[in-house]
Structure 1
Amino acid sequence: MLVTVKRLLTGLVLSAALAFPATAFENRAEAGFVIDQTTGTILFSKRADEALPPASMSKLMTLYMAFEAVRDGRLSMEEKLPVSQHAMNYGGSTMFLDTTDRVKVSDLIRGIIVLSGNDACAVIAETLSPDGTEAGFARQMTLRARQLGMTSSTFANSNGWPAPGHRMSMRDLALLANRLITDFPDFYPMFAETEFPFDGRAPQNVRNRNPLLRLGVGADGLKTGHTQEAGYGLVGSAKQGQRRIIFAVTGMDSAKERSEVSEQIVSWAFRQFSSKTVLRGGKRVAEADVWMGDVPRVGLVSNEDIDVLVPVSAGNNVTAEVVYNGPIQAPIAQGDEIAELVITAGDLPPVRVPLVAETDVTAGGFTVRMRTATSVLFQSIGLGS
């Protein structure tokens, strides 16, 4: 049977969940997704799983694969790559490359991040493509995205140039941003660069279009996007104190609106939520009943400190449930995952934390087994307590 045990977390008041829907936050983005990276809490979701035109925000996938290639030794940051006619022919935002150039990988990467170079993406794509074409690299992008858990992303090119079927969801973009931050901490600081005057050849295109980088709000990435079809969008991240948020929004009508919406998201996410440590690793939360063990119950603990995000309007009101299928059959080894702590703060999605056995529990001897069997028999005929 399913056993649920409600427990009061030390120092917090147990009460009914307050009416604070995370989706109550309104902004002018057509679609968006906001997550607190530190706790994994989803703060906002609006058409988040809908596959939409991502414009230049899809360049993040090209960057991810370029970083992987550098890490794996298939590409060197100092290596100089040729520029094809196909790459040179790209319009829009470019590094103004031509077929006489051989460009360092590090410059191409900075050109993608800061200058949003469509041509730079194509150079990287053709170099890493299994067949030497950008289309071949795009197919590889789609496959790699699936492997990373991005289920709503399909790529037709390396840079987000408008094309049928070139689509990403806001959730996928946020997931990708998180992977860039966590998988490539040595490369990630490049996303905070505000200028890159490549070779002095394009003075009109040297500034990073990310509107948050110069506002002093902790923003340090990642990528803007704009096409007529997609509107204006941004995949952003900001860190204040120990907290980091990641967000993806799209469909704004202007660069000004994109800037206003993005700043609004950062302000809201950090001002309206606070992180609280509700459980210390190794501290007993509850006990689970044991079946045929040398003791009748075993303590339940978490392996690590547990932080949860709490809406400011909810104060210290947090509910928690310990859930397990029990009684637990002995023997039980210390550290076995045997229960789950479900923590709810306001109307935010519940946080689920695995709980493990605090100690070993060995199987009981003959006397314990006889006593247990007798108890079960008496209960089945109505004589048990």
Structure 2
Amino acid sequence: MFPLFLRLAVAAQLVGALLSPPPAVAQSIETAARQAIIVDFASGAVLMEKNADELMVPSSMSKLMTVYMVFDKLKTGAWKPNDRLPVSETVWRKHVKSGGSLMFLPVNSTATVEDLLKGVVIQSGNDACSVLAEAYSGSEEAFGEEATRRSRELGLTRSIFKNASGWPEPDHMMTARDLSVLSRRLIADFPEYYPLFSQTDFVFNGIKQGNRNPLLYSTPGADGLKTGHTAAAGYGLAASLKRGNRRIIMVLNGLSSMKERAEEARRLAEWAFREWETYPLFKAGDIVVPDAEVWLGEAETVQLAARGNLEVTMTRKARAEMKVTTVHTGPIPAPIKAGDEIGKVVVTAPGMAPMEMALVATGDVQKLGFVARISTALSRIIWGQPKR
């Protein structure tokens, strides 16, 4: 029986001028924030980061986890927007003289889930968070445990929740990166509810309060998400901005004042949109390799297609240096089934880790019969190429 003499082939070709990987090492820009991260929403590329994996007091930004869990209740139908939830004396006593932000829910009253969500998102009401937590888990402590467990399922690797509001409590901690992941999931998983974050004011119990997100009033494209402030944490903001087809997520914390938070957030947002761009390279099913050679198959070649969508983010200056190569082991031995992973696309740039996407066969290729296989193998040995 003759050996098959498979060789390793690396097929490299320039795919076009619009080539870009997400940077493995974010470009440097100084910020006064103690912790910071900016992420491209579509590609997940990190545009800048500073102490992004450092545990920090998230203050009211951790309310985003409470909102996520309530949105999920609504989406599954377990809760309805008009369901009324009770305001217990426990909740009222906890918050009435706390000095924190409130929705001003009267004791022993009820409020709809929809109004409570507005109280959390727009008014940053700690009392609204506690009402939702008690209805969800029976107690705020139990809710914190459930939120921590659920956060791991969402990809938050270090966050620990002790309550629903972000009220200062030992070990209630998050990271800027976790907050960026949570922000992306909120927008991606609940597009039907996300517009709530752009509402600028809400009246409840005769009291009108404005949304505390400063970007909503001053920065084009801003449409969410949540501010935070405590003495220990300083001033923070988890923000999302969309211009054209691009959306960025930005998390800042540890700023010294509301003014600095607003100015720093605007400055960094303008930098992200000015210096960076996201380019689509392939859509799922696009033919990337039209004629990958097949070994001992009824067809001599097979097409390789992109398994999924590939969008890459880079600085505009780096765009001309980007390269895309295709890599696969060939000739590809038959049999081949449509959907088999055959190789990959690799996007590279100086100073950046490669970005990869799988290539899959677009059709079936059956193996040649025994006699044909012997003939083809002999031709390969004698002539260096198959003879049919």
TM-score range, shorter chain: 0.7 to 0.9
Q: Structure 1 residues 327-336 or 228-237, which shifts more?
A: 327-336
5 Å-filtered alignment, 1:275-294, equals 275-279=278-282, 281-285=285-289, 287-294=291-298
Whether the 8 Å CA contact 2:307–2:357 is kept in 1: the answer is no
The residue aligned with 2:27 is 23
Q: CA, structure 1 residues 13+355, in 2 after alignment: closer, same or farther (shift >3 Å)? A: closer
Cα displacement (A) at 1:149: 1.6
Does the 8 A contact of 1:57 with 1:225 survive in 2? yes
Which of 182, 195, 198 is matched with 2:204 structurally? 198
Give the partner amino acid of 1:316. A
Q: Is 1:236 aligned to residue 239 of structure 2?
A: yes
User: In the TM superposition, what is the alpha-carbon distance from 1:253 to its structure 2 partner?
Assistant: 1.4
Once the two structures are superposed, residues 163-187 of structure 1 have per-residue CA deviations (whole angstroms, 9 ceiling, x without a partner) of 1111111111111111111111111
Deviations 1:271-323 (A, max 9, x none): 11123333465233465443332344433222566432231112433211222
1:117-138 deviations in whole A, cap 9, x for unaligned?
1110000000010xx1110111
Question: In the alignment, what sits opposite 1:310?
Answer: 314
Q: Is 1:181 paired with 2:184?
A: no
Asked if the contact 2:40–2:247 (Cα under 8 Å) also holds between the matched residues in 1, the reply is: yes
The answer to whether the 8 A contact 1:41-1:349 is kept is no
5+ long unaligned stretches in structure 2: 1-6
In 2, distance between residues paired with 1:349 and 1:264? 28
Shift of 1:13: 8.2
- Measured in 2, the distance between the counterparts of 1:350 and 1:25 equals 23
Structure 1 residues without counterparts, runs of 5 or longer: none
Length-normalised TM-score, structure 2 = 0.87
Cα distance in 1 between the residues matched to 2:360 and 2:336: 10
Give the stretch that moved more between structures: 87-96 or 290-299.
290-299
More divergent stretch after superposition (222-231 vs 260-269) = 260-269
1:336 deviates by 2.5
1:62 to 56, 59, 66: 66
1:223 paired residue number: 226
Q: Judge which range, 153-162 or 317-326, deviates more.
A: 317-326
More displaced stretch, 259-268 vs 183-192: 259-268
d(CA) in 2 for partners of 1:136, 1:20 = 38
1:373 positional shift: 4.6
- Cα distance, 1:44 vs structure 2: 1.8
SS at match of 2:30: coil
- More displaced, 172-181 or 34-43? 34-43
Aligned match of 2:344: 340
Query: Which string of whole-angstrom CA distances, capped at 9 and with x for unpartnered residues, describes residues 308-361 of structure 1?
Result: 223111243321122234543311123332211111356455432221224332
Q: Which residue does 2:3 correspond to in 1?
A: none
Residue in 1 aligned with 2:275? 272
Aligned to 2:130: 122
Once residues 19 and 190 of structure 2 are traced to their aligned partners in structure 1, the CA distance between those partners, rounded to angstroms, is 40
User: Does the C-alpha gap of structure 1 residues 98 and 267 become closer, same or farther in structure 2, counting only changes over 3 Å?
Assistant: same
CA–CA distance in structure 2, aligned partners of residues 148 and 276 of structure 1: 26
Give the structure 2 partner of residue 254 of structure 1.
257
Give per-residue Cα distances to partners, 1:56-112, cap 9 Å, x unaligned.
Answer: 111011111111112223222112221122322222111122313211111110010
Mark the CA change 1:375 to 1:234 in structure 2 (over 3 Å): closer, same or farther.
farther
Superposed counterparts of 1:136-155, under 5 Å: 136-155=142-161
Counterpart-to-counterpart distance in 2, 1:12 and 1:181: 27
RMSD of the TM alignment (CA)? 2.7
- Alignment partner of 2:14: what SS? coil
Q: CA deviation at 1:232?
A: 1.2
- The C-alpha deviation readout for 1:125-154, integer Å capped at 9, x for no partner, is 00010xx11101111101111111211111
Instruction: Please give the alpha-carbon distance, in whole angstroms, between the structure 2 residues aligned to 1:284 and 1:211.
Output: 45
Output the amino acid matched with 2:124: S
2:93 counterpart of 1:93? no
Distance 1:371 1:318, change over 3 A: farther
Moved more, 231-240 or 41-50: 41-50
Q: Give 1:2-81 correspondences, 5 Å limit.
A: 3-11=9-17, 22-81=26-85
2: CA distance, partners of 1:374 / 1:188: 64
Distance 1:108 1:337, change over 3 A: same
TM-score by length of 1: 0.88
Whole-angstrom distance in 1 between the partners of 2:130 and 2:89: 10
Write the distance in 2 (CA, Å) between the matches of 1:285 and 1:225: 49
User: Is residue 210–residue 224 contact of structure 1 (8 Å, CA) maintained in 2?
Assistant: yes
Q: 1:135 aligns with which of 130, 138, 141?
A: 141
**8 Å contact 1:55–1:227 — kept in the other structure?**
yes
Question: After superposition, what is the alpha-carbon deviation per residue over 1:229-269, rounded to whole angstroms, capped at 9, x for unaligned?
Answer: 11111111111111111122211111111112211221111
Q: Equivalent residue of 2:179, what SS?
A: helix
Percent of matched pairs sharing the same residue: 42
Once residues 70 and 20 of structure 1 are traced to their aligned partners in structure 2, the CA distance between those partners, rounded to angstroms, is 37
Of residues 164, 167, 182 in structure 2, which corresponds to 1:161? Answer: 167
Q: CA deviation at 1:11?
A: 4.1
The 3-state SS of whatever aligns with 2:38 is strand
Distance 1:355 1:251 in 2: 44
Q: Write the distance in 2 (CA, Å) between the matches of 1:290 and 1:123.
A: 63
Q: CA deviation at 1:210?
A: 0.7
Equivalent position to 1:207, from 207, 210, 219: 210
1:83 equivalent in alignment to 2:122: no
- Name the CA distance, whole Å, in 2 between partners of 1:296 and 1:47: 53
Distance 1:56 1:323, change over 3 A: same
Instruction: Pick from 98, 102, 109 the counterpart of residue 110 of structure 2.
Output: 102
